[in-house]
Amino acid sequence: MRNRFDEQLARLNTEMIEMGALCEEAIALASKALSTGDVSLSKKVAPISADIDRKERDIESCCLKLILQQQPVARDLRQISAALKMITDMERIGDQAEDIAEIITYLEGKTAEETIHIREMAAETITMVTDSVDAYVKRDTELAKSVIAHDDKVDEYFDRIKRSLIKMISENSGKGEYALDLLMIAKYFERIGDHATNIAEWVIFSVTGEHKQIS
């Protein structure tokens, strides 16, 4: 019975890695579309977001089967329940990558120096998402804590971008709408960092039984 459970748990981990990889791909595509002004790239994000939605349903079904059929012990139950929480955040990451891609279609191929910082911000959020899922699979609380610490860096990027866009508007009011679009994109990346932080917090719960919001 335990061998069967371990096999299903391994499958869950594989599904989680695959969902995390889809999130990374969606963020990376949106970031590249922004930096290059290539609208065709941004249009590839929505299908990936749909794949993320399907993966969420598959993982949810896998988790429920593990709970109902295998009667997991406390440690295993924490890992499964954490996965159920994590996929909600990953699904939202996919949605927000899609939102970024949609805004890019309105930019009509425009790029700006400010997108350099947004690309750096995007790279940071991709790392956070990757590491948070890796931490879950490896049950690595130190890696999870590192993800949480990196959220401050994402927030710093957002503040820097916000200041530069305010300066842009003050110097050229005609760029106001464009600046607001870039600000919304940066805000979505900041939210993705927040979701990665949530995932990392659930990793710590799955290992220790402690969660910042419920302890």
Q: Quick one: average pLDDT of 126-148?
A: 94
Q: Total structural domains in the chain? A: 1
Boundaries of domain holding 84: 2-208
Decide if pLDDT at 214 tops 60.
no
- Positive or negative, the CA dihedral 182, 186, 187, 191 is positive
* Measured CA angle at 30 (ends 62, 34), to 5 deg: 175
In this predicted structure, the answer to whether residue 215 has a pLDDT above a threshold of 60 is no
pLDDT(38) > 50: yes
Give percent of the chain with pLDDT exceeding 70: 96
What pLDDT is stored for residue 112 in this prediction? 60
Please give the residue that has the higher pLDDT: either 167 or 215: 167
In a domain, 214, yes or no: no
Residue 211 has pLDDT above 80, yes or no: no
Residue ranges of E strands in the chain:
none
The better pLDDT of the pair 73, 215 is held by 73
- pLDDT tens, position by position, 82-115: 999 999 999 999 999 999 999 999 887 776 666 7
Encoded amino acid at 187, one letter: K
In a domain, 68, yes or no: yes
Q: Give me the helix-helix angle, 114-138 and 176-208, nearest 10°.
A: 10
Q: Which percentage of the chain shows pLDDT scores above 90?
A: 64
Per-residue model confidence (pLDDT) at position 80 = 92
For residue 115, the tally of other CB atoms under 10 A from its CB is: 22
Residue 176 is assigned to a structural domain of this protein: yes
Residue predicted with more confidence, 116 or 37: 37
Residue 215 inside a domain? The answer is no
Q: Kindly report the three-state secondary structure assignment for every residue of 12-35.
A: HHHHHHHHHHHHHHHHHHHHHHHH
In a domain, 179, yes or no: yes
Q: Which CATH number covers residue 111?
A: 1.20.58.220
Residue 213 included in any domain: no
Residue of 211 and 191 predicted with greater confidence:
191
- In terms of pLDDT, which residue wins out, 215 or 119? 119
pLDDT (0 to 100) of residue 8: 87
- Mean predicted confidence (pLDDT) in 19-41: 91
Q: What is the pLDDT of residue 113?
A: 62
Is position 31 within any domain? yes
201 and 148 Cβ atoms separated by less than 8 Å:
yes
Neighbours of 70 (CB within 10 A): 18
**153 assigned to some structural domain:** yes
Q: Does 5 or 143 have the greater pLDDT score?
A: 143
